[in-house]
Chain A
Amino acid sequence: MGTEISVKEYVVRLGDDALILGHRLSEWCRNAPFLEEDLALSNVALDFIGRARMFYTYAAELSGEEVTEDTFAYQRDCRDFKNHLIHELPRGDFAFTMVRQYFVDVYSLAFMTSLLESSDSRLAAIAGKAIKESEYHLRRSEEWMMRLGESTQESHRRLQSAVDELWRFTGELFDQDSPERELVANGVAVDTRALEADWNRTITATMSKISIEIPKDELQVTGGREGKHTEFLGFLLSELQFLQRAYPGLEW
């Protein structure tokens, strides 16, 4: 076990985050509360899947073997995926999905803005594209926080319980292992610890506007970056990877 990870591994981590969340969002396709929101959520899902493709394609180039973007998406098992756990949690109800999205969008926008300064020009280019998407995602999810928070007792209750459930998975977003920190020192990776204070401030401000309480001193769950996942990822992958597992190399 070396103490450093390669740029390739870092890129795959970012791809995993995007793919797993993109898949979770895609589960709303034809299941959203009404048609307009169905299309909107599917658009966001496609943005994340597109983001995963950009990261995986770059990782495949760095691999320099017979590896493609599909290899990363379809031919790895749970322990190989290094996504943050928050992305793999089941979609839950609409409030749960939108709270997760809001947490992730605030994070992503800051993350991508910082990645724009990466010494790795390919990563900076991906960030440039992702920032515009995240700006729009955030505009949507922030609005939903206000809408659900101020609408009915029921929507407020669901919002609060989503925040309660999700909070313990937010700490991991800012928790960097030492290999990743070395890439931060090289100017390649984003120093996520530096994003935490701003993220907290933004979330706290929004939640206080709609009288949602943020859990205090919650024990934080981590492990995604080590490949230690919740029980939900396996089910997600079995659906995501089914076709390629059943018919390896199948093409359209």
Chain B
Amino acid sequence: MSMAELTVLQFIGIFASYLTMTLFLPALLFHRKTSKYEFSVRFMIYFLWGNFYMMNVVFLLQLLHICNRATLILVTFLIAVLLFFHDRGIRLDEYLHQRLDLIRRYLSGVMGRKTLGRSVRKRIRGIFKLFLRWLVDNVLKKLFPCVLLFGTIAFTIYIFGSTYLINYGYNASDLVVHNYWINGLKDGKLFVAGIYPFGYHIVLYFLSEVFGIRVLTLLRLFGLVQILYVLLMLLASVSALSKSKYVTFLSGILYVGLNIWSVDSFSRFHSPLPQEYGMVFILPSVYFAIRYFQVKAEDLKSDMEKDDWKSMKLYRRWLISSRRYEAMEKRRNRTLYYTSDFRYLKFKDKVKRCIAILQCLIRRQKERHIKEMMRFRESSWMLVYFALAFQATLAVHFYATIITGIACIAIAIGFFGKFIRGEYFKVLMQTGIIAIICAVYPFAFAYIGGTPFQGSMNWALGVISGDTADSQNSEELQEELEKGLDEGDAAFYDSDGNLVAIMKKDGTVIGSESFVKQFDIQPNMDSSDSTQAEDTVESENVKTVNKSLVQKVKERLLGLSQKLRNGVITCKNSFKESIDDYVVNKDSGYKGIAKAMMVLLLASMGLSILVRCKDSDYGRMLTSISLSAGFLMLLLIAEKIGLPVLIDANRTRYFMLYFICMMFGLAVDAVLYLLLSWRKLIRPMRVVAFGLVVVTLVVTYQHKLYAKPYHVEAQETNGAILCTASILETHTKKDFTIVSANDEMQMLDASGYHTESIDLLREMEDYEEDAYFACPTKYVYIYIEKVPLDYYTSWYGSGSTVSEEGASMELPKGDGVDIYTGENRFIVMSRLYYWAEAYERMYPNEMQVFYEDDDFICYEIKQNTSALLNLAINYGFNVGEK
């Protein structure tokens, strides 16, 4: 079988298994409860439940140390079956009894073969009819959306998946680390390298364990599933929020269909990485947060209508009275009782007693009313789904949580009027806390158990505590300032008058280099001319240091309008620069993308205000999305404008692009709503939206604006992956060792052993007779790159073939992956190549070529395990001077 065929089959398997857990199984269980929602909302709900279940069941079983294939399958499918029957009100024992009774009747001869056959066929026909009905209702009646959806999916698979058929290896260097962590889960070690958000690892572990897919295969191909879901979430959320539905495909086309965006804006999607997996949960959390406000308003509205609009007033009065009640409690005046001595009370006391009774009755009525208001209703479900999505972001990657947090802030601003009201705020806070607890409880248990935080977590905690690089920078600047600046130094201030950077006279920059670059200032080396120094004012923001001038500049910059203008200019320039650097495809030749984005943002904000007049919640929604996009644009340029850098620009662009495409779709929807909703018919909007999509597709095709398939250079040779896959397929016993650089170390999934090439080479360096190195397995595979890869680092000799010159160079020292990058990799592979030649000459029958192509060769050594071959030999380059 070719690797391409295998890749396709493996991808189908992975996709099917992931769909099973995130669509089919949840649909089976929750369809009845969610049938009132449209498909896009149901899709998100099923997805959230599926992921929530996978993550938490593994967490719990791992914490209990009983996590393995059997328990996972049992817990997953057994519970699903039980829930399925419970949901339908069918008792499982009765159901089984009926089925067994059927078999019993057949076996005992009461029921004949024909009757049984008729019964089975009838059942099959029934299921088939149900399927047909579903097909007609959900596909044929919605043919156009289905065609567009499948077309979008197919196109995405085409442009993102083509590279997998050409390059078989991992596309990111840290996948090896993630492989190691997932292998740790297989060994029953949760947080094997320290506490870290493990949601993504757990999902992959779950799929591997339950469906028997190798981790190697998942890490190769799950990235394609991931980008599909990122896109599907975009489509689902825009579809759910919009009124014309088809505009969602405009968002999708803008996001993946056009060749506007740079290749690097999608480079991380070629590997299954936690950040990108966390991205999948952002838009569902945004949607359900917005939807909560919308639905809650409807719930409260219906309640108010029921109570004749008194409820809110009563609620507020209850709040007041409950405060009084608490005060009364303090004064020990809480009891309400009817005593027989009522008649004997003074009139004044009687009146007081009656008032107290009345107050109590009112209070109880209010409490009943509040209880009625606080019962679980539609909006509550929205909060539940929001909590599921939010906790998933926290469990998968903190960046996703940060972005979700920014979006939540935008939503809070958009729905500010409601947000600050008690009935919203309190519940939202409670939900947020519960969501955080659901996400961090495994961390807590692990921490209590003595597991330390992983390195990245310490950095994250540092960010949270404010110990950022920026704050370190500002401390450094302050120190420099306190030391005193010398003649010829230049200080740079932002529009707020804050010191952002200092450029010394020799050109050294302390602080924000990017801020300095925009001014294109040359260091003033000659400081002897003091008059020149005093009079030189190159711009309003940059002053060559003269102690008296610094004070004056700072005072001038404090002017508000100047500040604002400068800020806008800075933002505009920075944004344009960042968009050009990070987002736009330079080869496409598009210009003005940054401007277009800013215009879109402003237009979107404006539209949201206009739309509010017709539908306030819809307008607020658009405001929230626009603000989210705006915040992310600010985040992109945070470093340049002196804001705290929560996420560096390189990663921010992924999220920003995502939200901009969402905003675009909703903005178009808002325009259509404003123009065409006056007939109060949904159809004209949809027709026009569909027309827009078609026109977009046609124009894109005619002008060749569509994106081309991405091709990513894999960080492993195809030969290595081919050999590893073949070895894993043919060796069922743990009887082999692979000697290679590093990537295969974790790929073997406990099926074999791995030794690093550098260990072998070092053992026989400065060869002596007593040198000994052996691999205690029957088969030993040696991986050698004849053309060493540029392993995430190119060097001056990139693409060189192994040579004697390379073999003559000194072996790299040190540890870690540096040994296998750049020139070091070239040296290691050259040495290994000539070692293999010499060894094959010594053992021609024991060592043979297992696989060879132009770039890669794999040798197989077959040995007797009770007479291991010594791999340490004198191969000519490991003795004496080189």
On whether the two chains bind one another, the answer is no
